[in-house]
Structure 1
Amino acid sequence: MKFISWNVNGIRACVKKGFNEYFNEVDADFFCIQESKCQDGQIELPFEGYHQYWNYAEKKGYSGTAIFTKHEPITVSYGVGEEESESEGRIITLEYNTFYIVNVYTPNSQRDLARLPKRLDWEDRLSQYLKELDTKKPVIYCGDLNVAHEEKDLKNAKSNIGNSGFTFEERGKMTELLQSGFTDSFRYFNPKREDAFTWWSYMSKVRERNIGWRIDYFIISNRLVDQVLKTDIHGHVLGSDHCPILLEIELDL
């Protein structure tokens, strides 16, 4: 079964830059997007054979998530019960007989770290939610998680220590989650790779020179690791400041 996750940085803009072509070419079972930046009725994506689930932010042109899937879920839920995440459209969970897929767009701590306390509170509540799901069925947790976990997950680690997305606090929350029964699927299969990034600044030549960060993930319950067939980063795909990531895994519905 094939999963794709991509922060599209505005789905309406991304469609004009090849989104539909990539979507059709990759032919995923599950295609998760973050930062859709649209409201209900602002775009139609008539992908034949796919069910669509959208979580729109109340604020126009902001945040938002969606999942396109060939497989109708048992249940669909939005947020984890906390008011803020639901109003910002940041979480969608689909339940199947044998697993959950949780698509997330994690809030940025902001350049001055003004939102760091809220971010850490978010991490605690989301982590508890994921662990509760994991007691019932294995979890595939994906999205733009807005953190580079280790120094090898960004090009200029030393100069970014303490900056948004690379604070010790944010990285520590990721470590805590991974230690509680989850695996960073890409890093598990690429433990030493240092040139694998999923986000690049729009500044001139930055992407061409691969000065980036790996902040998009497929994090899976430990007991799914032996079922993973492939993980990949599709850095060649343009259309956003992020690129798509892929997980192929043996799963029954």
Structure 2
Amino acid sequence: MRLVSWNVNGLRAALHKGFTDWLDADHADVICLQETKLQEHQIPDEVNPPPGCEAWWSFAEQAGYSGVALFSRVPVREVREGFGHSRYDAEGRTLVAEFDGFTLINGYFPNGGQGDDRLAFKLDYYRDLLAFVNGLRAKGRAVVITGDLNTSHMERDIARPDANRTKSGFMDIERAWLDTYMDNGLVDTFRMFEEGGGHYSWWSMRGGARKRNVGWRLDYFLVTQDLRDRVVSAEIHTTVMGSDHCPVSLELDL
């Protein structure tokens, strides 16, 4: 099974930058999108649903903000919005999908850069989602978490660590939560195959950052230990344009 995740930074804008061509060519079984920036009445016909897919959406109450979507070319048992916390659901942050063999969480993790309140909101999301994941594991479910986690975990995950230690996305308090996720048995699948630096999934739109590869790795596929041996590949697709993020993918032998 091939899964792909992409923060599209506005789906309507991405449609004008080759999104449907990419979707047709990728042949992923499951596609997770973040930051769709849509309301329900604004879903473009091309993706309502995409040909050959079923589609599910979570919308923010605030127009033009946040939002996630899930497209699937394979059967899905159930998809639900959120994980029991209305304050996150109001921002369209999470879809939870039940597949044969695992639960998939598609999350657009909050950005903590708009002040102390938003940083606290982001950290609460990390805490509450991990509690939800541990509850699933206690019931015997394998779990895949994907999306824009909005934090670069290690120094090798960011081009300029020293210049960004006090900025949201690379603050110690945020990175510590990713440590906690790993300590709770979650596996960063990309790091199963690539230990070095220089691999990023987001670049500022300013200063030619993408061309110079001055980026951050913010987009992940995490799996519980019971799926580790099923991981075939995990990649970052830096040549795919259309957003300030690029897609990431995971292939599972299921």
Provide the TM-score with structure 2 as the length reference.
Answer: 0.96
Q: Secondary structure at the match of 2:128?
A: helix
Equivalence for 1:29: 29
Equivalence for 1:48: 51
Match among 143, 160, 170 for residue 147 of structure 2: 143
1:97 and 1:30 map into 2 onto residues whose CA distance is: 13
Structure 2 unaligned regions, length at least 5: none
Match among 107, 116, 128 for residue 131 of structure 2: 128
Equivalence for 1:12: 12
Cα displacement (A) at 1:111: 4.7
The one-letter amino acid paired with 1:190 is: E
Moved over 6 A (4+): none
1:101 and 1:113 map into 2 onto residues whose CA distance is: 30
Cα displacement (A) at 1:194: 0.4
Percent pairwise identity: 38
Q: CA-to-partner distance for each residue in 1:43-74, whole Å, 9 max, x for gaps?
A: 22142221101001111100000000012322
Equivalence for 2:165: 161
Q: How many residues align?
A: 250
Cα displacement (A) at 1:148: 0.2
1:96 and 1:52 map into 2 onto residues whose CA distance is: 14
Cα displacement (A) at 1:15: 0.5
Equivalence for 2:122: 119
1:58 and 1:115 map into 2 onto residues whose CA distance is: 17
Structure 2 residue 102 is the aligned partner of structure 1 residue 99 = yes
The one-letter amino acid paired with 1:149 is: H
Cα displacement (A) at 1:114: 4.1
Does the aligned pair in 2 maintain the 1:154–1:214 contact within 8 Å? yes
User: What is the root-mean-square deviation in Å for CA atoms of aligned residues?
Assistant: 1.1
Equivalence for 2:185: 181
Comparing 224-233 with 30-39, which one deviates more in the overlay?
A: 224-233
Q: CA-to-partner distance for each residue in 1:22-52, whole Å, 9 max, x for gaps?
A: 1110010000000000011212214222110
1:50 and 1:30 map into 2 onto residues whose CA distance is: 9
Cα displacement (A) at 1:96: 1.9
Does the aligned pair in 2 maintain the 1:155–1:212 contact within 8 Å? yes
Structure 2 residue 204 is the aligned partner of structure 1 residue 201 = yes
Q: Secondary structure at the match of 1:115?
A: helix
1:113 and 1:57 map into 2 onto residues whose CA distance is: 21
Provide the TM-score with structure 1 as the length reference.
Answer: 0.96
Does the aligned pair in 2 maintain the 1:111–1:163 contact within 8 Å? no
2:183 and 2:146 map into 1 onto residues whose CA distance is: 17
1:113 and 1:17 map into 2 onto residues whose CA distance is: 35
The one-letter amino acid paired with 1:27 is: H
2:163 and 2:25 map into 1 onto residues whose CA distance is: 38
Q: Secondary structure at the match of 1:41?
A: helix
